[in-house]
Chains A and B, each alone.
Chain A
Amino acid sequence: MSAAETIQNSEAREPAFGFWRRSYAMLVKEFIQLRRDRVSFAMIIMLPVMQLTLFGYAINTTPRNLPTAVLTQEDSDLGRSILKAMENTAYFHFVREVHTVEEFDELLQSGKVLFGVEIPRGFERAVRRGDRPALLVAADATDPVASGSALGALGPLVQSALAHDLHVGDPPDMPFEIRAHARYNPAADSRLNIVPGLVGTILTMTMLIFTALSVTREIERGTMESLLSMPIKPVEVMFGKIIPYVLVGFIQATLIIAIGILLFGVPVLGSLTLLALLTTLFITTNLSIGYTFSTIVQNQLQAMQLSMMFFLPSILLSGFMFPFAGMPVWAQYIGEGLPLTHFVRIVRAIMLKGAAMQNLQYDTAALVALMLFAMTIAVTRFRRTLD
């Protein structure tokens, strides 16, 4: 190889390690940009730490201390012993004592309790006579995960607890029969529970993102400057941006529910009108929250990250995936602050339990409150100047 040839070759060739140099240049630039984006940086740390501690402690698939109501039609030592024995299993937590069947049904239908125990009139006497009377345990089986393990434990656990109290013999000698009645979803078909919940989950995801990007998009595209110089008020911007998506959300909800009915055979026992009305409320609540995010963040990436931060707890702490009643109290408080929690209750109650408005007042009020709260923040946060 001659000297001249070498020179020519080296001129034509790219610099040594060109691939690595260029990759390195790109890498340095990305690190600088990442460091400037404080919110993204915080998310990198916060997202795993928060999610892990939150969900690690909160999620429990064999829930205990489930809210239970008692319908007592007689006050007897035996009845009290049975209730005591049930509570000792740690699965049941007696929160209400009612005296009429109507109250009992209302509690179950509105989702305030997951179980109801009925001690019929003349129960103790019937036991003494050796009639083997039935002790009725009604379970809200819309969520088979929540009710399943408690129902499974009912027979043997109560028996062994009672064996000591009543000095009765081994299981075959049980002087009464426990008749468990899985209401609303007797076949424990988890699809019946999942599909209504999915309506809420899908809507949360899509609605949040629609509006979370709306204000930041105006800022990033530079149209905000024009918009702010015109006589429009923050509330007007908000309504103008939310209302079109209410329609979009409504179409989406109709689609999901129709597929649920046609493909998965999920019933709608309650009123379709009520379902439509409350779904619209839920859609609007989510749009308001997304819009609020969009007034807080600085760019579309942050808007997406914040939506994710909100979406994950919504799925995990709302009772959609894991039984709400099984979560520790602090996690339940967080759950109460999420619109999906209330909507999952509403949509399951209407579709599977045939609930009416009077059963759903609390969850409806909660959705309205969350919506107004988000809107208030959005309107006050919306910057009317470029300062």
Chain B
Amino acid sequence: MNGGSTSARSNAPSIAIDVKGLTKSFGGREVVHDLSMQVKRGSIYGFLGPNGSGKTTTIRILCGLLTPDSGEGSCLGYDIRRDADKIKRKVGYMTQRFSLYQDLSVRENLEFVARLYGMPDARGAAADMIARIGLKGREEQLAANLSGGWKQRLALGACTLPNPQLLLLDEPTAGVDPKARRDFWNEIHALAAEGLTVLVSTHYMDEAERCHEIAYIAYGHLLAHGTVDEVIAASALSTWTVTGEDFNGLMAELTDKPGVDMVAPFGTSLHVSGRDKAALEGAIAAYRDNSKWHWQASEPSLEDVFIDLMGRSKDNFQG
């Protein structure tokens, strides 16, 4: 009786998401290509990539909203193709666009979710959640009239209400102010500490750095994954930070130099990066003596790495 399924079961405690070779096309265009990933239970997994890279599609496949064209895998130990119903009971999905009922109040929305999941005391559960997400006093306000930050809290509240084991958050903090963003991330860390697994897609680098692990996806291909440090190290990118005055001319000149792969201004400094350390040093040698600028070898930032990955993937997949 405990023959065939033991291997799948033994994975269940430590791995929340385990998928292999996921592929999905829409109208002949491949949106997700041969994507494999593993997410440990209780971790916060950041999902990064440019717009249209297939992040949302991947998340929808994971929660059973889309069927992959090929590929297989499990979510919380359930098969993503066959057990969509079971997965839905244990997964909270926060959509990119606010998708609760605008014409219901905060309380009514939460009670609807609680009832739908068959929670014994829907009213009580909704009231507890209102307190937890700090919407007390706004219970009777219609969702449509909430500000962006409050809407996002309500959406998080709704998807954590039925005590899921996995949260799938699709760009949850888009268009939300920094304070609300920070509060939101504190909440996510608190949830992860309780044992919840969180997969969150984002465009913000500071948010990526708050994740235990990250994956970078572009044009449907998973290009890098690991901890932030691992991803930076794996990029093998060398970066120099230039401080000083009058970057405009320098930027234009450096951009086309062989050995320089990327030049990006960061406020009062300029990041100059290259994949080949020696070639980069050769390219900038002529400018290092100029007293106008101060050159310093530095670690590439996560953003540098991602912009570089994006540029490279563009060359590879877009011809």
Contacts and interface: CB of A to CB of B under 8 A. Distances in A.
A170 interface: no
Interface string B31-71: 00000000000000000000000000000100111110000
B186 interface: no
A232 B116 CA distance: 7
Interface in B67-108: 67, 84-85, 88-89, 91, 93, 95, 97-102
Contact of B95 (A226, A231, A385): A226
A233 to B, nearest CB: 8
A225 B65 contact: yes
A244 to B, nearest CB: 14
A10 interface: no
Contact of B64 (A221, A222, A385): A385
A230 B66 contact: no
Contacts of B64: 229, 385
A386 interface: yes
A223 interface: yes
B42 to A, nearest CB: 22
A14 interface: no
Contacts of A232: 116
A5 interface: no
B143 to A, nearest CB: 10
Contact of A231 (B60, B65, B67, B117): B117
B113 interface: yes
A386 B89 CA distance: 18
A231 B91 CA distance: 10
Interface string B107-134: 0000001001100000000000000000
Interface string A226-266: 10111110000000000000000000000000000000000
Given A229-B93, A230-B117, A386 B99 contact: no
A77 interface: no
B88 A225 contact: no
Contacts of A231: 85, 88-89, 116-117
Nearest to B170: A225
Nearest to A226: B99
A387 interface: yes
A384 B88 CA distance: 12
A226 B93 contact: yes
A223 B99 contact: yes
A229 B116 CA distance: 11
Interface in A203-234: 221-226, 228-232
Given A229-B91, A229-B93, A232-B116, A385 B65 contact: yes
Interface residues of A, number: 15
A320 B167 CA distance: 56
B88 A221 contact: no
Nearest to B155: A226
Contact of A229 (B88, B97, B101, B102): B88
Contact of A387 (B67, B89, B158): B67
B117 A386 contact: no
Interface residues of B, number: 23
A222 B98 contact: yes
B67 A223 contact: no
A386 to B, nearest CB: 5
Contacts of B100: 223, 226
Contacts of A226: 93, 95, 99-100, 158
Nearest to A232: B116
Given A385-B64, A385-B66, A386-B66, A230 B98 contact: no
Nearest to B60: A386
A385 B97 CA distance: 17
B116 A230 contact: yes
A387 B95 CA distance: 16
A316 B228 CA distance: 70
A222 B99 contact: yes
Interface string A347-387: 00000000000000000000000000000000000001111
Contacts of A228: 65
Contacts of B113: 230
Nearest to B88: A231
A129 B117 CA distance: 86
Contact of B101 (A223, A385, A386, A387): A223
Given A230-B88, A385-B64, A387-B66, A225 B95 contact: yes
Interface string B272-313: 000000000000000000000000000000000000000000
B67 A385 contact: yes
Contacts of B85: 231
B97 A222 contact: yes
Nearest to B101: A223
Nearest to A230: B116
Contacts of B116: 230-232
A224 B93 CA distance: 12
A292 to B, nearest CB: 23
Contacts of B102: 221
Nearest to B91: A229
Interface string A169-194: 00000000000000000000000000
B88 A386 contact: no
A387 B85 CA distance: 16
A228 B67 CA distance: 13
A29 B67 CA distance: 35
Nearest to A240: B116
A225 B117 contact: no
Contact of B99 (A225, A385, A387): A225
A386 B64 CA distance: 9
Interface in A292-346: none
Interface string A31-67: 0000000000000000000000000000000000000
24 contacts: A222-B95, A222-B97, A222-B98, A223-B99, A223-B100, A223-B101, A224-B99, A225-B65, A225-B99, A226-B99, A226-B100, A226-B158, A229-B64, A229-B65, A229-B88, A229-B95, A230-B88, A230-B113, A231-B85, A231-B116, A232-B116, A384-B84, A386-B60, A387-B67
Interface of A: 221-226, 228-232, 384-387
The 5 closest A-B pairs by CB, nearest first: A226-B99, A229-B93, A231-B88, A231-B89, A222-B99
